Amino acid sequence: MGRLTLNVLLSFAQFERELSSERVRDKVAASRKKGKWTGGSVPLGYDTKDKKLVVDPDEANTVRMIFARYLALKSFRKLIDELNDKRVVTKKRPVTGKIFGGVPFTCGPLAYLLKNRTYLGETGHKEHWYPGEHAAIIDSALFDAVQSLLKGNSVTRRQQRSDNQSVLKGLLFDDRGNRMSPSFSTKGGVRYRFYVSSAILTGHRDEAGSVTRVSAPGLESDVVAALRKRFTNSDSLTDADLFSAQIQRIALGPTKLLITIKTDDATGKLVELARSQPSSSTRARIENENSQPENRPDLGLIDAMARAHLWLKALTDGTYQSVEELANAAKWNSKVVRKVLRLAFVAPDITEAIIHGSQPNSLSVSELQGEAAFCWDEQRRLLGFTAAA
């Protein structure tokens, strides 16, 4: 009876905490809709007085200069170099006796400043913006012109990355005729590229070929070497131009690569390249350049998954009555605890792959936590694992 009473009290306490949080969120939303400043990082160009944003004249001139110069230079890199030469830095913010900010601009803070609608005299809540109580620093014409340039430059950069890197785009197919589309993942700031069967991307794994995912740099290097060897007078062509001029189609199989050439000659139209046999293990991701070398386990992933299973056991055997109680005992934020607990529901074969170190290098704890919310088959599809036996 005592435990039941405690559970009821804990449930009421949890309900009260959630209700209080909801009231606070509603109050902040209502204040933002009225244009009031409700706190947070004060943007460059403003200070706070009596819980309101007020314009700092000197900083406001700096903000206007940044907007105008970006419109003139049309380049983040050139603008950053100019700001560094002029010793223009980010806003200094005192926090608990320490000063943060006051450092040279980089691309992230600069993009945030140029997209900040606070400079139009608006306040935002989630994705909506409302007329604010504070004065505008930037007029709408200049702001809109900068947004248009930002959008255009973003499209150009994406197109350049695609053109410069994914040179086999549109040419590569798996051995069941599905186009292999370029994709990537990142870890520690490093970008890893690969090609993925369109059957996987569209949720039709049963229609995919024998190879669903392949390392982009390694495959591209093999194709370049084969074509340069065959077309000895191609030194003046870039790799992309060479592929466009000579390749009709590339078929990717488990042990070989068949390149169909556009122009026939004495050697025929097919160039066949041998490939190393990919792992047949159900726990390995097929031909991903991010695979751990020499089956070296990722201790961070293993530690997170072990913690998730221990915490789940502590909840199911009654050691702790709620996630909040567990979080207090572990001295972790309850939201973080809930995310970690997701790892206890990862498919067994994926768990085994992580223990043996045969998962991709790019697989992070946060990515795995996100995929763990799905059923096991969907986890395998999203992560590129073969089906469990």
Minimum mean pLDDT among 17-21, 119-123, 274-278, 292-296: which range?
292-296
| pLDDT above 80 (res 295) | no
Same domain, 52 and 158: yes
| pLDDT above 70 (res 267) | no
pLDDT the model gives residue 18: 63
| pLDDT above 80 (res 117) | yes
Q: Residue 90 falls within a domain, yes or no?
A: yes
pLDDT the model gives residue 38: 80
Q: Residue 359 falls within a domain, yes or no?
A: yes
Quick check: helix, strand or coil at residue 335?
A: helix
pLDDT the model gives residue 262: 82
Same domain, 194 and 151: no
Q: What pLDDT digit, counting tens, does each position of 14-66 carry?
A: 656 666 666 667 776 777 778 788 877 899 999 999 889 999 999 999 999 99
Share of the chain above pLDDT 90, in %: 17
| pLDDT above 90 (res 141) | yes
- Residues of the domain holding 300: 293-383
pLDDT the model gives residue 279: 45
Nearest in space to 320 (alpha carbons), one of 351, 348, 341: 341
Q: Which of 243, 274, 305 is the last residue of a domain?
A: 274
Same domain, 268 and 349: no
Q: Residue 36 falls within a domain, yes or no?
A: no
Number of domains in the chain: 3
Minimum mean pLDDT among 92-106, 214-228, 357-371: which range?
357-371
Q: Is the pTM of this model over 0.75?
A: no
Query: Which of the two residues, 343 and 18, has the higher pLDDT score?
Result: 343
Q: What pLDDT digit, counting tens, does each position of 62-105 carry?
A: 999 999 999 999 888 889 889 989 999 999 887 777 778 888 88
Q: What pLDDT digit, counting tens, does each position of 169-213 carry?
A: 888 999 889 998 888 776 656 667 888 888 877 767 778 888 888
Same domain, 133 and 203: no
Q: Residue 34 falls within a domain, yes or no?
A: no
Nearest in space to 271 (alpha carbons), one of 263, 283, 279, 281: 263
Query: Which of the two residues, 46 and 373, has the higher pLDDT score?
Result: 46
Same domain, 181 and 204: yes
Q: Which amino acid is at 220?
A: E
Query: Which of the two residues, 229 and 155, has the higher pLDDT score?
Result: 229
E-strand spans in the chain? 46-49, 52-55, 93-95, 98-100, 122-125, 128-131, 172-174, 180-187, 190-197, 213-215, 247-252, 256-261, 270-274
Share of the chain above pLDDT 70, in %: 79
Q: What is the 3-state secondary structure (H, E, C) of 113-167?
A: HHHCHHHHCEEEECCEEEECCCCCCCCHHHHHHHHHHHHHHHHHHHHHHHHHHCC
